Amino acid sequence: MPIFARNILPALNSTVLASDWPAGFWSHLIIFIVILFVFVIFMAMGFIYFERRFISRFQIRIGPNRIGPFGLFQPVADVIKILIKEDIVPLNADKLIHLLAPIMAIAPAIMVFAVIPFQNGAALVNLNIGILYIVAVSSISIVGMVMAGWSSNNKYALVSAMRVIAQVVSYEIPLALAIIGVVLFAGTLSMNGIVQAQNIPYILLQPLGFLIYFLGSMAEINRTPFDLLEAEGEIVAGYNIEYSGFKFALFYLNEYTEAIAVSTIITTLYLGGWRGPSFGLPVIPVLWFLVKVFAVFAVIIWVRATLPRLRIDQVMGFAWKFLLPLAIINLLVTGAQVVFWPVLSHWVIVGVNVVLAAVLILAFSRFFRTAGDKIEA
């Protein structure tokens, strides 16, 4: 038996599926992989549609409403349009790397979903180190983007790739520190275990950690106001400027897959995942999960519709001077609470942490200067 199967099987057996569905290791693996791919593709289409319609509302437009009822088939039309484009490789590009880059980017983004519990225990693998696996895997996508930027033989793409490296490497640190707060409270690294431990959604127990994670992950997936790598006013389209056809479609899918991944991780870590009143029906937890994922994504779109973009030095300053100290303080406070107040009611800790988060953020923003002198509003 291969090593991974030997390690995973016990974990699978320990899942708390109501009936042992789908029975058996291989059928579980195959069925869940199919489910995950369908989930990712359909969610990506749903997100594209949702984003276009929702952002239109912010911008007093209607948005796509021509193809299908309420424009629901617009993403399908988009996909068809992208796929029938000619696949162009620049003359002086590094052709092999140019081909591998989109695959390199999309694969880790989809791999993240392997440990996301859609329902109690309903995950491809219920890894006992789930969140560690996510932190490890999710940052590999950047390699694909850097490969794309480097191999395209284009200066816009190169500048974009350099920005990606700097930005993502910086934001990994506060992001990981914020996650540790959740892990301390839950006492487990398993994603399903974290959901099961959330009698109170951790957004209340870890308000500061949630904000740090949310902002950090917005920078990770390059969403406004951290979308420097595709700042169209500066470097046109960023790392994927020389891509077209199927390869571009993969990058486009990657962008939304990462957005879905981040939304699902935030849902799982901070919003209680699949938990919610289920009324005894088996499908309700999945719906709760999806509703929360879309709610998180709606906030991300809201931010995108409202805020301008930061400059590169301001982005870096924000990570190192603002998020990192806050993340460390959050970690220390959480650790102290877990060690010294294990008997205390959770609701007391909620009160303390919410007040602490507000005070810390206000105090820090008073002293925090990205660049230059004081800014008076």
Partner 1 sequence: MSLKTETFLVNAGPQHPSTHGVFRMRFILDGEVIQDVEPVFGYLHRGIEKLSEGLTYSQDMVFTDRLDYLASMTNNEAYAVAVEKLAGIQVPERAEYLRVIMAELMRISSHLMGVGFLTNDIGAFLTPLLYMYREREKILDLFDMVCGQRLTYNYMRIGGVSQDIPDEFIPALKKFIDTLPKFIEEYEQLLKTNEILLIRTKNVGILTKEAAINYSTAGPVLRASGVKWDIRKAEPYSVYSRFNFEIPTGTKGDVYDRYRIKIEEMLQSIEIIKQAMAQLPQGDIMAKVPRVLRPPKGEAYGRIEGPKGELGFYLVSDGATNPYRLHIRPPSLLNLSPLRELAIGVKIADAMAIFGSIDICMGEVDR
> 37-66 mask for partner 1 (x: CB under 8 A)?
------------------x--xxxx-----
Q: Which of 277, 340, 367, 373 binds partner 1 (CB under 8 A)?
A: 373
Report, in Å, the least distance between residue 199 CB and partner 1.
36
Q: Give least dist CB 305 to partner 1, A.
A: 5
**Residue nearer to partner 1 on the CB measure, 61 or 95:** 61
On the question of a cis peptide bond just before residue 2, with omega within 30 degrees of 0, the verdict is no
Is 94 a residue that touches partner 1 (CB under 8 A)? no
Cα 65 from Cα 347, distance rounded (Å)? 46
Judged by CB under 8 A, does residue 358 bind partner 1? no
Applying CB under 8 A, the span of 99-107, 117-125, 257-265, 310-318 interacting with partner 1 comes to: 310-318
Q: Is 165 near partner 1 (CB under 8 A)?
A: no
Cα–Cα distance, 377 to 361 (Å, whole number): 18
Q: Which is nearer to partner 1, 311 or 346 (CB)?
A: 311
When the beta carbons of 85 and 304 are compared against partner 1, the nearer one is: 304
The correct pick among 10, 233, 277, 280 for binding partner 1 (CB under 8 A) is: 233
Binding-site member from 33, 286, 314, 325 for partner 1 (CB under 8 A): 314
CA–CA separation, 161 vs 146, rounded Å?
A: 5
- Rounded to an integer, what is the distance from CA 268 to the centroid of its chain? 11
Task: Give the tokens for residue 188.
Answer: 């487990």
- Comparing CB distances to partner 1, the nearer of 2 and 372 is 372
Asked whether position 308 contacts partner 1 by CB under 8 A, the answer is yes
Q: How far is the CB of 5 from partner 1 (least distance, A)?
A: 46
Supply 313's token pair: 């030095």
Q: Which is nearer to partner 1, 60 or 283 (CB)?
A: 60
Nearest to 171 by CA among 204, 217, 209, 236: 217
* Residue in 205, 235, 253, 326 binding partner 1, rule: CB under 8 A: 235
* Contact between 305 and partner 1 per CB under 8 A: yes
Beta carbons within 10 angstroms of residue 149's beta carbon: 28
Told to check if 78 binds partner 1 by CB under 8 A, we report no
How far apart, in whole angstroms, are the C-alpha atoms of residue 40 and residue 107?
Answer: 12
361 binds partner 1 (CB under 8 A): no
Angle at CA of residue 193, ends 46 and 179, nearest 5°: 75
Size of the site for partner 1 (CB under 8 A): 36
Q: Which is nearer to partner 1, 193 or 225 (CB)?
A: 225
- DSSP 8-state assignment for residue 228: G
> Restricting to residues 242-261, which ones interact with partner 1 according to CB under 8 A?
none
When asked if residue 362 is in the footprint of partner 1 (CB under 8 A), the reply is: no
* 372 contacts partner 1 (rule: CB under 8 A): yes
Q: Is residue 2 a contact residue for partner 1 (CB under 8 A)?
A: no
Nearer to partner 1 among residue 32 and residue 318 (C-beta): 318
Alpha helices in the chain (DSSP H): 3-13, 25-58, 74-83, 95-111, 130-138, 141-151, 155-186, 191-197, 202-205, 207-220, 232-235, 245-270, 284-306, 312-317, 324-340, 346-367
**Which of left, alpha, beta for 273 (phi over 0: left; psi -120 to 50: alpha)?**
left
For partner 1, the closer CB: 61 or 81: 61
CB of 216 to partner 1, least distance (A): 17
Q: What is the DSSP string of 70-114?
A: GGTTHHHHHHHHHHTS-----TTS-HHHHHHHHHHHHHHHHHGGG
Contact 134, 108 (CB under 8 A): no
Site of interaction with partner 1 (CB under 8 A): 55, 58-61, 155-156, 159, 162, 224-225, 227-228, 231-236, 304-314, 370-373, 375, 377
